[in-house]
Structure 1
């Protein structure tokens, strides 16, 4: 599977989606960040090949041979990425699925619709354009009404309300520690026990261990939710 994570809008969670949702569930995938200014999955310790949008020729050659790839296209590079995509005949066919994360703000939803329109003009078929609802508070259907209305009107993409990531502080905590949710879930260390075993006067170590214990407790249910999100996005 070769997936591109794209959106004209910034700060919608493309790197969260790449690092915490997709990479752990497509473990053989090469991660390629088309980014020049913002955080990428490399900042969380993943092995990432970094390119710029104008370097599409190199990316195209990679996609021709890759059995699995996740292409994280930063907002600062998406215009170059799409321009280059259109230069190569049927280049969009080398990407199996375009995932568009979106958050509930009006601006993000409008720019997501513009991204869908640009992909449609490039020849991407509706079943390969999939919106992922990020930072959902209660109900994706209510919080992303413009996206669902446009889905019914245009029939240009897939919008499954179960393809959602609920609002959670865990992602900011993971970013602060430069960790992936997969790494935390795989860590079998009993940090709660370690807190109790630590010198009570060692405030710095107690704070570190307490943070990791709290992060484990937060990460495990979110990780299970992401399993369901992945299924909803690709089935």
Structure 2
């Protein structure tokens, strides 16, 4: 499966969606289409980075692989869309276009414009998906109201597939992982016995590291389950 993650807006969580939701479950290489995108450099060293004007190279590479995650930074999304239009039919190289949305009004408007642009390029509604990102767990039942513009747009014009259960909840683990330069999958599968490290810590630094990792692991486990649920909601199957 090959998926592009994009939104005309910045700060919608595209890199989090690419790194933490998609890449681990697809076991797929990731391309970052970016000029300025600090988030992409924080969690993975093995990401291929290109600019939007290199779209031709990207679409040729996509022809040779069965799976990929392409994270399109906001600074390059216009070029990405422009060149996708010039390479007529190249949108067919992607199985899905995933548009992360957050509740702020401007970002919702940009989300709608992203969907309209994809549709105008010939992407069918069944291959345009939205994931509702950075939702407080206490507002889980309020997603249609929080994202009223997106839901309203879908009610008027079915240019994308709406799956209300595709909700990523706010979790401080993502910021912690960025600081640690680690991926959530690494933390979830980390079998280090930090409890033993805590008991045997020889100094305060070692003790604080163990405490920090125990907390991160706890946060990561709940976030991982949430991401599993979102993945199944979006694509109908687990890894």
Kindly provide the CA deviation profile for residues 79-121 of structure 1, in whole angstroms up to 9, marking residues without a partner as x.
Answer: 0000000001111111110000011111110100010011011
Find 1:191's aligned residue among 184, 191, 194. Answer: 194
Q: Who is 1:21 aligned against?
A: 21
Task: Give the Å deviation of 1:142.
Answer: 2.3
Aligned equivalents of 1:213, 1:88: Cα separation in 2: 49
Aligned equivalents of 2:17, 2:47: Cα separation in 1: 14
Can you give the 5+ residue segments of structure 2 that lack an aligned partner in the other structure? Answer: none
Alignment of 1:6-45 (within 5 A): 6-27=6-27, 29-45=28-44
Q: TM-score, normalised by structure 2?
A: 0.94
* Paired residue secondary structure (1:65): coil
Kept in 2, the 8 Å contact 1:18–1:41? The answer is no
Task: Give the Å deviation of 1:207.
Answer: 1.5
Residue 97 of structure 1 pairs with residue 96 of structure 2: yes
Residue 78 of structure 1 pairs with residue 74 of structure 2: no
Aligned equivalents of 1:105, 1:203: Cα separation in 2: 41
Can you give the 5+ residue segments of structure 1 that lack an aligned partner in the other structure? Answer: none
**Count of residues in Structure 1 that have an aligned counterpart in Structure 2:** 232
Task: Give the Å deviation of 1:69.
Answer: 0.8
Residue 171 of structure 1 pairs with residue 174 of structure 2: yes
Alignment of 1:47-126 (within 5 A): 47-126=46-125
Aligned equivalents of 1:168, 1:161: Cα separation in 2: 19
Q: TM-score, normalised by structure 1?
A: 0.96
Aligned equivalents of 1:20, 1:134: Cα separation in 2: 12
* Paired residue secondary structure (2:63): helix
Residue 180 of structure 1 pairs with residue 183 of structure 2: yes
Task: Give the Å deviation of 1:45.
Answer: 2.5
Aligned equivalents of 2:190, 2:159: Cα separation in 1: 41
Q: Who is 1:215 aligned against?
A: 216
Of the structure 1 ranges 17-26 and 134-143, higher mean CA displacement relative to structure 2 is found in 134-143
Aligned equivalents of 1:46, 1:145: Cα separation in 2: 37
Kindly provide the CA deviation profile for residues 137-180 of structure 1, in whole angstroms up to 9, marking residues without a partner as x.
Answer: 11322211111111111100012111110011010000010101
Kept in 2, the 8 Å contact 1:125–1:156? The answer is yes
Aligned equivalents of 2:42, 2:225: Cα separation in 1: 23
Q: Who is 2:206 aligned against?
A: 205
Structure 1 residues 40 and 167: alpha-carbon distance in aligned structure 2, compared to 1, 3 A threshold: closer
Aligned equivalents of 2:197, 2:144: Cα separation in 1: 43
Aligned equivalents of 1:38, 1:2: Cα separation in 2: 21
